[in-house]
Copies of this chain bind each other. A is one copy, B any other.
Amino acid sequence: MSIRIGIVGYGNLARGAEASIKDNADMELTAVFTRRDPSSVKINTVGVPVLHIDEIESFRDKIDVLIICGGSATDLPVQTPKYAKMFNVVDSFDNHPMIPTHFENVDMAAKEGGYIGVMSIGWDPGMFSLNRLYGTVLLPVGDTYTFWGRGVSQGHSDAIRRIEGVKDAKQYTVPVEDALRRVRNGENPTLSTREKHTRECFVVAEEGADKARIEKVIKEMPSYFADYDTTVNFITEEELKRDHAGIPHGGFVIRTGKTNGGKSNHVVEYSLKLDSNPEFTASVLVAYARAAYRLYKEGQTGAKTIFDIPPAYLSAMDGATLRKTLL
């Protein structure tokens, strides 16, 4: 029998999860739940119902794992604990400073319900976290560097869009090649924020807007841009649509370390180059939905992060097949 998946929300991440489920033969999509009027939401899977979120509780026996595709700012802190009382859940909570609090809330709720709550899944937090952990334990004498990009930062794009006179914008985070080179060389450099990443902005200005002012406001925006070398390119709406429609992202986790009392150097590098950030993130969520289901079937309960889950639980293959084909 397939693992029956429910999806909460229907934005980019949810659509990515919907597509990913089709690539996993042991899973099926049971329903999509939305806060909107369900009749206004058209999904890509024939025969699967879209229901109002208020109906979700009646699906307790019909869904094995719920993939919650809300935002980390206001949705997930409420939704994940709420639904972890009724379902095994997986979320992509990515507000790093709030992770300990979210863990406590999800853990309490999931234990109350007798379910598994897998949280902060994706690639950062997620696969990048995992590689930071493996790097640290395999080379305890060393340094870990995380670089992001080249890719679209939704948060920074939104920050530009909020500036008066801006019609639309896309912001790319770009790792500095020279910093990457120095890290890979094992130089163990201390890198400032400015030395690690640059920010490239593509901005569509409203007609008659003061472009010089917009550029100045962007470049001086605290925490978002002021600490970076930022380039602002004004383009037309057509150019934005034509050249910047995608949501690519990626990055690098590099651990450099020494063994044998400092005599030998080693470099471990993990990198992602993603055409679609939400689709890859969703693929990770779907794999961890399988793990959530397995852990639940074993009788485990509570919150789990990517650190807590044995890799084998992610695969539909059994242990013997994994050992034979992938070890």
Contacts and interface: CB of A to CB of B under 8 A. Distances in A.
A315 B275 contact: no
Contact of A99 (B132, B184, B280, B324): B324
A11 interface: no
Contacts of A22: 261
- Most B C-beta atoms less than 10 A away, residue of A22, A96, A132, A323: A323
A243 interface: no
B127 A138 contact: yes
A324 B100 contact: yes
A288 to B, nearest CB: 9
A326 B133 contact: yes
- Most B C-beta atoms less than 10 A away, residue of A22, A141, A266: A266
A259 B271 contact: no
A120 to B, nearest CB: 6
A279 B306 contact: no
Contact of A283 (B23, B138, B314, B323): B138
Given A306-B327, A311-B306, A315-B133, A275 B279 contact: no
B284 A305 contact: no
A59 interface: no
A267 interface: yes
Interface of A: 16, 19-20, 22-24, 96, 99-100, 103, 120, 125, 127, 129-130, 132-134, 136-141, 184, 259-261, 264-276, 279-280, 282-284, 287, 290, 305-312, 314-315, 319-320, 322-324, 326-327
